[in-house]
A and B are shown apart, each in its own frame.
Chain A
Amino acid sequence: MTEWIRPPSLDEALAARREHPDFMLLAGGTDLMVGAIARPAPVGVIDLFGLPELSGVSRDPAGGLRLGAGTTFAALLTDDAVRTELPALWAAAREVGALQIQARATLGGNIGTSSPVGDSLPVLLALDAEVEVASSRGTRRLAYDEFCTGYRTHALGGDELIVAVHFPADIGRRVQAWRKVGTRRAQSISKVMFAASVERGADGTVTLARLAFGAVREQPIRALAGEQCLAGETPDAALAEAVAAAVLTDIAPIDDVRSTADYRRTVAGRLARRFVLSLA
């Protein structure tokens, strides 16, 4: 029989984690329960869904938004600060599955799985989000691209839990974008995902550029060559072409059941081009 621990507090969750590093960490179950009946039941489960200290949106001392790892996408969608300051994340949340998935799936669960097609992950990269992890030894914060180390792997220690995601204080000033391309708007797993944010100078030049993709490499990535091409420039049609070409050097898509490498390259370039054109 699977041992089931539902800790009533974060302290007790961390104690359970330290004591049982082999237990499955479970939030909303929308990833982990897919196909679960065909696999042997886990030895134990630490059930984090609904743990109050992991849920909700608050403001951290630096003035940035802090989203609890256990916050569901449904909860993110009804939060005014998320909608106005993190419109790219809000848009991504709206396209996670549909109502039934949004009611259970959590931001921390998406990060814990760190699938290359995790819907929120390119947004975390584009918005310079930091993942806060905790253990009974203390807490630490890592940028998402430090946290995710490869295909569905990450830097979470055996005694640690993902507790929150932090965004920079001035993030609401950036122009933000999100686009998911799949066979259907709801419920489908993406073929390509794109998230971006920029800051503009008074003269219209791009002073900061973040371009991120999902489903085009083994993990969600920032398109650094594309960013370099965009930063310091004034968006126009020629720049859009240049950025579209540059992002192709950042990505390494594959053929799989959902799409082809060729299609993903074409779409990734177009998403980047359209974003730059939207700034022109």
Chain B
Amino acid sequence: MKLRLTLNGTARQLDVHPMRRLLDVLRADLALTGSKEGCGEGECGACTVLIDGEPVNSCLVPVAQAADHEVVTVEHLADEALMSDVQAALVEFGGTQCGICTPGIAVCATVALEREPDASRERLRELLAGNLCRCTGYQLIIDALADAQAARAAAARGHGAERGTGHPGATAS
């Protein structure tokens, strides 16, 4: 079927089987390979993309359901060559491990920090509970997000603090 959608800010037209998974269309047809397939069953979150700002598992979305909606993938989080603060924090803190879960974490965490800028570490864990890291490296991931969160809060207070202290576990004040 022919459908239109907005993908990473650009209007696109596709001619696809409606039941194909959005994940496969993104990766195979559109060469957006940032979104990963982990489990293919909506358990692991490695394929997380945004549809109209909501994080969803793209392995569970038939592409027809993306028609006339706005899809954002991990490729669109960065501004040209510059990583977003969430991505930069994940790199700096080593919240990446093998890397398969990282794109989904970056997408979901971006939403989490926007929606709940004051989320506690415990709440951050709940918001990220749909993203499984099988290297079990959650500590550094949460450290990274807490750092990005603290840097945003400091910036909002006008302190203009540099994001990141370089010390895992530390939070900018």
Question: Hey, which bits of chain A sit against chain B, CB under 8 A?
Answer: 1-2, 4, 6, 26, 28-30, 33-37, 41-42, 45, 47, 49, 74, 97-101, 103-104, 185-187
Contact status B42-A34, CB under 8 Å: yes
B61 touches A33 (CB 8 A): yes
Interface string of B137-156 (1 = CB under 8 A from A): 00000000000000000000
Q: Are A186 and B126 in contact (CB under 8 A)?
A: yes
Measured in the bound complex, the distance between the Cα atoms of B16 and A41 in whole Å is: 13
Give CA–CA (A85, B56) in the complex, Å. 28
Residue of B1, B59, B64, B111 near A99 (CB, 8 A) is B111
- Whether B45 and A98, one on each chain, are in contact in the complex, defined by CB atoms closer than 8 angstroms, is yes
Query: At the interface, yes or no: B101 with Cβ under 8 Å from chain A?
Result: no
A25 to B: closest C-beta gap in Å: 13
Closest chain B residue to A41, Cβ basis: B19
Nearest CB in chain B to that of A40: its residue:
B19
CA of A100 to CA of B128 in the docked complex: distance in angstroms?
A: 9
CB distance from B116 to the nearest CB of A (A): 11
Tell me how far the C-beta of A57 lies from the nearest C-beta in chain B, rounded to whole angstroms.
18
Please determine whether A36 and B19 come into contact, CB atoms closer than 8 angstroms: yes
Q: How far is the CB of B35 from chain A (nearest CB, A)?
A: 12
Which chain B residues have a beta carbon within 8 Å of chain A's beta carbons?
1, 17-19, 21, 24, 40-43, 45, 48, 51, 54-57, 59-62, 64-65, 67, 108, 111-112, 126-132
Assembled-state Cα–Cα distance A45/B61 (Å): 13
Compute how far the CA of A37 lies from the CA of B130 in the bound complex, rounded to whole angstroms: 22
Other-chain contact of B60, A2, A33, A41, A187 (Cβ < 8 Å): A33
Contact A100 B56 (CB under 8 A): yes
Q: Measured between alpha carbons, how far is A166 from B17 in the docked complex, in Å?
A: 37
Return the contact of B132 from the options A99, A101, A187 (Cβ within 8 A). Answer: A187
Bound state CA distance, A33 and B57, in angstroms?
A: 11
B49's closest neighbor in chain A, by CB? Answer: A100
- Give A41 to B64 CA distance when docked, in angstroms: 13
CB pair A47–B45 under 8 Å, yes or no, is no
A13 to B: closest C-beta gap in Å: 15
Q: A26-B65, A33-B61, A49-B65 are in contact. List 5 more A-B contacts (CB 8 A).
A: A36-B21, A42-B19, A45-B64, A98-B126, A104-B61
On whether the beta carbons of A101 and B21 are closer than 8 Å, the reply is no
Whole-angstrom distance from the CB of B11 to the nearest CB of chain A? 19
The smallest C-beta distance from A75 to any residue of chain B, in angstroms, reads 10
Q: List 30 A-B contacts (CB under 8 A).
A: A1-B1, A1-B17, A2-B17, A2-B18, A6-B64, A29-B62, A29-B65, A30-B57, A33-B42, A34-B42, A35-B41, A36-B19, A45-B19, A47-B65, A49-B65, A98-B126, A98-B127, A98-B130, A98-B131, A99-B55, A99-B108, A99-B127, A100-B42, A100-B48, A100-B56, A101-B42, A104-B57, A186-B130, A187-B129, A187-B130
